[in-house]
Homo-oligomer: A and B are copies of this chain.
Amino acid sequence: MKGGKFSFQLLKEGGGQARLGKVTTPHGVFFTPVFMPVGSQGTVKALAPADLQEVGTEILLCNAYHLYLRPGTEVIREVGGLHRFMGWEGPLLTDSGGFQIVSMSALREIESEGVRFRSHIDGSLHFLTPEKVVQMQEELGSDIMMVLDDCPPYPASADEAKEAVDLTTQWAKRSQGAKNGDGQALFGIVQGGGYSELRRQSAHALMEIGFDGYAIGGLSLGEEKEITFEIAEMVTALLPTNSPRYLMGMGTPEDILTGVRIGVDMFDCVLPTRGARTGVLFTSFGQLNIKHARYSTDTSPLDPACGCYTCRNFSRAYLRHLFLSRELLAYRLNAVHNLYYYHSLMRDIRQALSEGRVDQFVRAFFSQRGGKGGTSEEKGGERGC
């Protein structure tokens, strides 16, 4: 869909705090709630842009930290920006790297000016400031930029969390000041760990600065899931209704439904693409591990209810064979399926929202799965996911 200046339009509310929205960006329009596949290094692992279109991807997430280290954001600017570089013509969000610097770097020294760290690739020393991180994302030309935040590891003491909120606020202000023009949107990131008062301070400070959207960071780092959603819900209730809200790095299909009900508009997670590489597949009847011997002569598709390329063309027996043989095609066919599943789920959620029956939809989903709160099986260098 044709894009334009960044804007968010709230189309409908209902079903807890759930919202149906429409986001316009220079590279096209997408509807929320939306799931963003993770393409940290300028590619969603094992998938080409043509696959992403086919599975229904509406907006992609890339990572400025990764692209800064390799091949360099200035290289990408030179070759015409990230959209052109990776052949993706739709909306793009770039994460700042705040979380990756915590989770992937050997050294990490936070000072008020910025953050010093060693590259996880070659150990080289780098110093990033909020201004530099905005500049990097302007070189990339993403539609939505994220501020550099201070995302302390879990568990953080109240003092550590307070310091992180203060620094995140200062950096957010500097990021907003560093931004050139309004061709690219900029989102603030709410920090504050598990401390509701700090979360409140963080959200209010960011709203005072004013951003095009608000993200909730520093969650799903190891805390109980009840706490994750308690904090997230408290924060979404504070945020302006006329801006998109992005819960970073979550999560399972169950997490997404819970997130939608507390008013989250945007999600990202490596689970569908990482699951593709570990043999964990998402289906209409729950998770399935393709390694299992029971699939060795199973001629049925992964998910008979699914319309993806993988399910239309291949049997569980073949997918198991590819996976056990470590064939590259395994990761791709699995990723195609998992993302198709996630995007279909989001479309179903939006349909339910538009028809005012999101509560029934969520209840039906959880009752089919026999309870609430699926678990993320794996963790890694992505926001809390």
Binding site for B on A (CB under 8 A): 41-43, 45-50, 70-71, 75, 78-80, 85-87, 296-297, 299, 309, 313-315, 317-318, 320-322, 324-325, 327-329, 331-333
Contact = CB atoms under 8 A, between A and B. Distances in A.
- Copies of this chain, how many? 2
A313 B49 contact: yes
A310 to B, nearest CB: 9
Contacts of A332: 46, 48, 328, 332
Nearest to A48: B329
Contacts of A71: 296, 317, 320-321, 324
Contacts of A329: 43, 45-48
A75 B296 contact: yes
B328 A70 contact: no
Contact of A321 (B46, B49, B70, B320): B70
A41 B328 CA distance: 11
Nearest to A327: B43
A252 B364 CA distance: 58
B328 A331 contact: yes
Given A43-B325, A71-B296, 18 more contacts: A41-B325, A43-B322, A43-B329, A46-B329, A46-B332, A47-B329, A48-B309, A70-B321, A71-B317, A71-B324, A75-B296, A78-B297, A79-B317, A79-B318, A85-B317, A85-B321, A87-B313, A328-B328
Contact of A80 (B45, B299, B321, B331): B299
B41 A299 contact: no
A267 to B, nearest CB: 23
B46 A328 contact: yes
A328 B45 contact: yes
By CB atoms of chain B within 10 A, which of A80, A297, A299 has the most?
A297
A225 B320 CA distance: 41
- Ranked 7 nearest A-B pairs via Cβ: A46-B328, A71-B321, A87-B313, A43-B329, A79-B317, A41-B325, A79-B299
Contact of A318 (B85, B296, B309, B313): B85
A161 to B, nearest CB: 34
Contacts of A80: 299
Contacts of A45: 327-329
A317 B46 contact: no
Contacts of A324: 70-71
22 contacts: A41-B325, A42-B321, A43-B322, A43-B325, A45-B327, A48-B309, A48-B332, A48-B333, A50-B309, A70-B321, A70-B325, A71-B317, A71-B321, A75-B296, A78-B297, A80-B299, A85-B315, A85-B321, A86-B318, A87-B314, A87-B318, A328-B332
A291 to B, nearest CB: 12
Nearest to A298: B79
A333 B45 CA distance: 13
A87 B318 CA distance: 9
Contacts of A309: 48, 50
Contacts of A70: 321, 324-325
Nearest to A333: B48
A47 to B, nearest CB: 7
Nearest to A66: B325
A50 B313 CA distance: 10
